[in-house]
Chain A
Amino acid sequence: MTRKIPIVVLFVLAVLPPGVVGAQEMSGMPAASCTKPAELPAALAGWTAKTPLASATDASRMDAAMLAIGQGASVTLHPTREVHYVSQPEKPGGSVAHGGMVAVAISASGTYQVSLDSGAWVDVLKDGTAVISSAHAPGPACTGIRKTVRFSLTPGRYAIQLSANAAPTIAVMVSQVP
């Protein structure tokens, strides 16, 4: 038989007068004190030498903003108001912040990690629909990677929306998680 909650409990909890009395985090960890760069794991080796890439301000320009898997990129962003996202970012960023879009082609199903050197917000979309992230974490200490977000992806082309970045450039890498 189900035990009833004593009426005195409900009184205590409810009758006292009021007023008496899948998502990703934006944050990373504060920078550690680093005396020298840490060695990167093999899967993140492409973070060291970044290629320049201009982000797109709308979907029609995404072909020119393709990220290569496993290759870090120094991505140029735009003032927030100039960016017409495929889908409203969950954290849009203010007018004084920067954002943009890049694309990535996935050929094999698996877990992929987006690594950033800032606390910017990242949305990954397929056919205009956001993919829910599966995990997030700070990057390895003293590597320059501040934030990582993981997604389970199937083959296809994805849009990566970057928003709420303080600086006009951001380091980004998409890598497959071993």
Chain B
Amino acid sequence: MRRLGLSALLAAVAITAAFGAPLSWRWNLPAGIMPPPVPADNPMSEAKVALGRRLFYDADLSIDGTTACATCHEQHRAFTEGNATHPGVGNTPGRRNVMALANVAYFNPLTWADPTQHGLEQQMLVPLMGSHPIEMGMAGKADELASRLGEDGCYHRMFAAAFPETEGRIDLANVTKALAAFERTLLSYDSPYDRYLRGDRTALSPAAQRGAALFSHGCADCHNGPNFTDGKFHHFRLPGQGVNDPARDRGLAEITAAAKDESAFRTPSLRNVALTGPYMHDGSVPDLADAVRAHTGVTRTERDVPDLVAFLESLSDRAFVTNPDFALPKTACGKGH
């Protein structure tokens, strides 16, 4: 057998460093889509993904046991939910519309308006521990979380399999790593639009094809790439909302305190957008057509709206929202469908 040359070895190391995932992990991606980045200290594994999936649906991750990640991220809605905003534990008011999770492994930064959120492991702490708003209400309760999970024999086995390097330690760090690993598997590349790109010329209706052409003029300035987001922050003020409206969401400026960042929000992905309403950062627009119309800076006519909507509807991936690998585990130890 031929030995690997130094350059090949260096290339392999570079790839591993860049993506952090063992080359053995099978991403099941279509041709042309690169694997998502994975932190070197949290490589993918089947055991970790299975654990993350169980944790994702476990409401013991909230202070009163009422709220799991899946409470707000419902699979049949492409991992969003149907309310404008979702109250946190104790019925505390929500602030922003729940973001979709399809292909979230590629997003950087994460969330609507926080440029410091660069990784899923870190971002998990926002709903878990955050107070602005309170979502799952676990601030200061990391030990209690570990204690709760530690009462379950299945979790002992699953953490041991997922984290042999820490002898299966049940703690917040491993919880967030497992959740992140599961969320990295939430890949959606089988919409009619994707099938059209792969050569199925029947996959898009004529209206959707016209909409795709229209979409490239303006919409794609921000909603571009395979996930229809540039990952950047843009000013977006809802029609009728004034710059001095005290009720407005300051968006990025809330973090940066810079006047230029007032009402700037990260471009959301449009994957499965027909399933993820209501729309906009505050969920104030219930209808996809009205969401198109709300983009006042983009040139289009009212006649264009149905075609644009038809195109956006072609981004719905039915296999993704019905994939049993992403659903609530039916067995106690989180395996099986």
The answer to the question of A34 belonging to the interface, with a C-beta cut-off of 8 Å to chain B, is no
Q: Which residues of B contact A4 (CB under 8 A)?
A: 209
CB-based contact B228/A13 at 8 Å:
yes
CA distance A19 to B258 in the complex (A): 26
A19 touches B64 (CB 8 A): no
B66-84 residues with Cβ-Cβ distance < 8 A to A are 66-68, 70-72, 74, 76-77, 81-83
Checking B67, B106, B109, B212 against A18 with a beta-carbon cut-off of 8 angstroms, the contacting residue is: B106
Candidates A10, A30, A164; contact of B65 at CB < 8 Å: A164
A6–B93 CB distance below 8 A:
no
Q: Is A18 in contact with B206, judged by CB distance below 8 angstroms?
A: no
- Are the CB atoms of A3 and B213 closer together than 8 Å? yes
Task: Report the stretch among B33-41, B156-164, B174-182 that lies at the interface.
Answer: B33-41
Whether A96 contacts B60 by the Cβ 8 Å rule is yes
Which residues of B have CB within 8 Å of A96? 60, 64-65, 148
Q: In the complex, which residues of chain A have a beta carbon less than 8 angstroms from the beta carbon of B64?
A: 94, 96-97, 166
Bound-state Cα–Cα, A160 to B58, Å:
21
In the bound complex, residues from chain B placing their C-beta under 8 Å from that of A97 are 59, 64-66
Residues 119 to 173 of chain B near chain A (Cβ within 8 Å): 148, 151-152
Query: Which chain A residues numbered 103 to 149 have a C-beta less than 8 Å away from chain B?
Result: 119-120, 146
By a CB distance below 8 angstroms, the chain B residues around A119 are 66, 87, 91
Give residues 15-46 of A contacting B (CB, 8 Å). Answer: 15-21, 23, 25-31
Residue of B nearest to A90 (CB): B328
Residue of B nearest to A12 (CB): B220
Is A18's CB under 8 angstroms from B226's CB? yes
Q: Is the CB of A21 within 8 A of B65?
A: no
Chain A hits for B206, CB < 8 A = 2-3
B216 engages A9 (CB within 8 Å): yes
Contact of B34 among A5, A6, A18 (CB under 8 A): A18
Task: Identify whether the interface residues of B are mostly helix, strand, loop, or mixed.
Answer: loop
Which residues in B have their C-beta under 8 angstroms from that of A94? 58-62, 64-66, 68, 148
Please, which residues of chain A bring their CB within 8 A of the CB of B93? Answer: 30
B229 at interface, CB cutoff 8 A: yes
**A14 CA to B196 CA in the complex, in Å?**
11
- Given contacts A9-B215, A19-B108, A25 and B83 within 8 Å (CB-CB): yes
Q: Is the CB of A21 within 8 A of B212?
A: no
Interface residues of B in 91-127 (CB under 8 A from A): 91-94, 103, 105-109
Chain B residues lying within 8 Å of A72, measured Cβ to Cβ, are none
CA distance A10 to B62 in the complex (A): 43
Query: Do the beta carbons of A93 and B216 come within 8 Å of each other?
Result: no
The answer on a CB contact under 8 Å between A30 and B91 is yes
Residue A91 lies at the interface, judged by CB distance under 8 Å to chain B: yes
- Give the complex CA separation of A6 and B216 in angstroms: 9
Q: Nearest Cβ distance between residue A64 and chain B, in whole angstroms?
A: 25
Instruction: Tell me if B57 is interfacial: C-beta within 8 Å of chain A.
Output: yes
Contact for A80 among B65, B76, B197, CB less than 8 A: B65
Q: Which residues of B contact A48 (CB under 8 A)?
A: none
Across-interface contacts of B65 in A (CB, < 8 A): 80, 93-98, 164, 166
Return the 5 tightest CB-CB contacts between A and B, nearest first.
A21-B231, A97-B65, A94-B65, A94-B60, A94-B59
24 contacts between A and B (CB under 8 A): A3-B209, A5-B212, A9-B216, A9-B220, A14-B32, A17-B34, A19-B34, A19-B107, A20-B231, A21-B225, A21-B229, A21-B231, A23-B76, A26-B66, A26-B81, A26-B86, A88-B330, A92-B57, A94-B61, A120-B66, A164-B65, A164-B67, A165-B66, A166-B64
